[in-house]
Structure 1
Amino acid sequence: MREHALAPWSCELLLNRDVDGRWQSKRDTTFSAPLEAVTWERDGVRYLAPELVLSHKVATGRPKDDDDLAAALPLLTRAQRTFLAEFVRTHAPGHPWHALLDAAT
């Protein structure tokens, strides 16, 4: 999103389909879950779980995505790290994050 066509981007909104009322991953359409299981809420705003945001970033390979992983990884629970490690192993073999996630799980 941005204020106008020449303004800098201020945020990015990712839209995902639902399947029978369940959130469905864009990167792995076999994965769906109840909205409450893949999001968290603060002050009435619902946010996608960090491991799912990071799983979306695996395909881009941008330095800012590496920075996001570095910032988020120490804050992820074991289950979140395990999910992300398995996602990378399955969907992006050879990705540089593979070694980082293996070391963190």
Structure 2
Amino acid sequence: MLDHDEAVRLYGRWRHRTPADAVELFKGYPGFWWIAGGWAIEAFTGKPRPHGDLDPSILRSEVALLRRHLTSRFDVWAADKGTLRPLIGEADEAISSTCGNLWLRESAADPWEYDVLLMDATMSMWTYKRDARIRRRTADIVWNRDGINYLRPEIQLLHKAPGLRAQDQEDFRACLPLLNDSDRRWLRAAILVAHPNHPWLKEL
């Protein structure tokens, strides 16, 4: 996995965006969206942290819906295993099942604006992308603060668990004392299934 500085060197810089910007981006969007990544951690802990980009997230099944929503506003690129490909066909054009992100920018002369994460979920059920045994009702993967949906911290930490980057460790330490018993038990059980030798298990 590339760190932020190396990704910027290779692909270009990112414009600073906040969750309030995402609200404007998705105004009128008929699908389901929320904020994931570092901004979701910050919303939960209340502790400011560095941000390389903003990670709104949508259901993988609603890519065409988002592309139609963004028509004439942003170019949409599929980020798939380290490669970038512009989506220039019809909105219903299929993307690879391994594509995990959509990068948005106005043109090649502009910085990237949003890194949209594609979640493996239907309107009824979410499935962890690294282990399909871990599932949860889609309605239960988000929480709301100030009118904005955020990915729940225990699920965000599960997604961060394989990386064990310094920032992931800091996010885990910041969230751990704030997780209630139920969410802590869920995270421990999920990591035990998907990443059974993970060092966070001892602290959970």
Please give the range of the TM-score, normalised by the shorter of the 2 chains: 0.7 to 0.9
For residues 9-24 of structure 1, what are the structure 2 equivalents within 5 Å?
9-13=52-56, 14-19=117-122, 21-24=124-127
Larger Rg: 2
Letter of the 1:70 partner, please give it. Answer: R
Residues 96/33 of structure 1: CA separation in 2 closer, same or farther (3 Å cut)? closer
Question: Who is 2:73 aligned against?
Answer: none
Using the alignment, how far apart are the partners of 2:199 and 2:158 within structure 1? 13
Q: Which has the higher strand share?
A: 2
Q: Which runs of 4+ in 1 moved over 6 A?
A: none
Q: Which has the higher helix share?
A: 1
Residues 19/12 of structure 1: CA separation in 2 closer, same or farther (3 Å cut)? closer
Residues 5/56 of structure 1: CA separation in 2 closer, same or farther (3 Å cut)? same
Paired-residue identity, % = 33
Deviation by residue 1:48-81 (Cα, 9 ceiling, x = unmatched): 1100000011111111111111000000010111
For residues 25-104 of structure 1, what are the structure 2 equivalents within 5 Å?
25-101=128-204
Unmatched tracts of structure 1, length 5 or more: none
Using the alignment, how far apart are the partners of 1:47 and 1:71 within structure 2? 17
Letter of the 2:126 partner, please give it. Answer: W
Letter of the 2:137 partner, please give it. Answer: P
Higher relative contact order (CA 8 A, sep 6+): 2
Using the alignment, how far apart are the partners of 1:99 and 1:33 within structure 2? 24
Letter of the 1:30 partner, please give it. Answer: R
Letter of the 1:96 partner, please give it. Answer: P
Other structure's SS at 2:118 match: coil
Unmatched tracts of structure 2, length 5 or more: 1-10, 16-51, 57-116
Contact 2:122–2:138 (8 Å) recurs in 1: no
Contact 2:121–2:138 (8 Å) recurs in 1: no
- State the TM-score, normalizing by the size of structure 1: 0.78
Question: Who is 1:7 aligned against?
Answer: 14
Other structure's SS at 2:197 match: coil
Contact 2:124–2:139 (8 Å) recurs in 1: no
Contact 1:19–1:32 (8 Å) recurs in 2: no
- State the TM-score, normalizing by the size of structure 2: 0.43
What's the C-alpha RMSD, in Å, of the aligned pairs? 2.1
